[in-house]
């Protein structure tokens, strides 16, 4: 347990350099050593409030996810896909950026696993980067990117085919933003933490449907279908 916590802290420092955000957490069912889980995930961010008078962000993202069990208690997560962005409200003009490249990576550490009562606890780190296409509005060229980071702690208990989970995360959000090739700004969030709640459902032994919601720092919903082998 102490070794797992130490490794979690070291890897978080190396990967995210103290920048965190609310990316999908995947739940607590990590692949066993040498096993792979692959699937499709939709991550729908309905509202991410920004600081000061910078309004809010909406982003819809679609990914091909892959998780690999490096050890029985340690899994790597990666994703490739596409995402968009709409900024609105505040003192900036409304801009609906076109869909562009999105991707991410992370890891999960299984801190607690008790098969007798079907409970699990995981620590995770995840990052998503979204690069929408530039948009011309009113004769001005707007460029943006989103960096979403997160560390989370989740606990779950399985009831038959259902595995509900709940937890919390610490978070920070960066929106890269510039107009007409001026110096790029980095705009931060209004809130720096939130709650995660979700559930996994085993359609069959090797096929699982997962859904999760994020609250407080953002309003979002993630859903994915995963095949394990």
Domain of 158, CATH number, reads: 2.40.160.20
Torsion, Cα 12 186 214 117, to 10 degrees, reads: 0
Question: Count of alpha carbons within 13 Å of 127, Cβ hemisphere only?
Answer: 15
pLDDT, residue 5, reads: 42
**Domain range for residue 169?**
2-228
pLDDT, residue 17, reads: 35
Query: Residue 188 has what DSSP assignment?
Result: -
Residue 212 near residue 222, CB atoms below 8 Å:
yes
Q: Reply yes or no on whether the pLDDT at 206 is more than 80.
A: yes
- Residue 86 corresponds to which tokens in the numbers above? 């709409």
Interval 139-182: pLDDT, tens? 999 999 998 888 999 999 999 999 999 999 987 778 999 999 99
Closest by CA position to 142, among listed 85, 103, 89: 85
pLDDT, residue 21, reads: 37
- Strands 185-187 and 173-179, by their bridges, are antiparallel
Number of domains in the chain: 1
pTM of the model: 0.84
Q: What is the mean pLDDT of the chain?
A: 88
pLDDT, residue 150, reads: 87
In this prediction, residues 59-74 reach a mean pLDDT of: 96
In this prediction, residues 203-228 reach a mean pLDDT of: 93
């Amino acid at each position: 347990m102490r070794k797992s916590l130490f490794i979690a802290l070291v890897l978080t420092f190396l990967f995210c350099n103290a920048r965190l955000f609310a990316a999908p957490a995947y739940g607590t069912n990590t692949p066993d050593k040498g096993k792979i889980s692959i699937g499709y995930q939709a991550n729908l961010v309905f509202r991410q409030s920004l600081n000061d008078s910078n309004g809010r962000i909406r982003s819809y993202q679609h990914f091909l996810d892959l998780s690999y069990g490096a050890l029985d208690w340690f899994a790597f997560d990666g994703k490739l896909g596409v995402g968009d962005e709409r900024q609105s409200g505040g003192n900036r003009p409304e801009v609906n950026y076109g869909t562009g490249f999105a991707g991410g990576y992370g890891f999960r550490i299984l801190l607690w696993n008790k098969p007798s009562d079907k409970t699990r606890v995981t620590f995770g780190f995840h990052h998503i980067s979204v690069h929408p296409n530039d948009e011309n509005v009113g004769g001005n060229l707007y460029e943006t990117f989103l960096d979403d980071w997160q560390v989370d702690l989740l606990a779950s208990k399985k009831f038959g085919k259902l595995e509900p989970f709940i937890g919390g995360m610490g978070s920070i959000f960066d929106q890269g933003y510039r107009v007409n090739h001026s110096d790029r700004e980095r705009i931060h969030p209004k809130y720096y933490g939130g709650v995660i709640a979700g559930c996994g459902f085993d359609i069959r032994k090797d096929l699982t449907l997962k859904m999760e919601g994020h609250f407080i720092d953002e309003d979002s919903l993630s859903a994915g279908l995963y095949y394990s082998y």
